[in-house]
Chain A
Amino acid sequence: MKTCLVVDDSSVIRKVARRILEGLEFSIEEAEDGEQALDACRRKLPEAILLDWNMPKMDGYEFLRLLRRMPGGDGPKVVFCTTENDVAHIARALHAGANEYIMKPFDKEIVEAKFQEVGLI
Chain B
Amino acid sequence: MNTANDLLTIRNLTTSFRIKDTYHAAVDDVSLSLNKNEVLAIVGESGCGKSTLATTVVGLHNEVNTKVSGDIFYNNQNLAKLNEQQFNNLRGNDIGFIFQDPLSALNPLMRISEQIEEGLIYHTKFTKQQRSERVLELLNHVGIANPKRVARQFPHQLSGGMRQRVMIAIALSCKPAILIADEPTTALDVTIQAQILDLLKTLQTETEAGIILITHDLGVVAEMADRVVVMYAGEVVEEAPVKELFNNPKHPYTRSLLNSIPQTHSENERLEVIQGMVPSLINLPREGCRFSGRIPWIDASSHETKPQLHEIAPGHFVRCTCWKHFHFEGEEGGGTV
- Do chains A and B stick together as partners? no
Residues of A near any B CB (own CB < 8 A): none
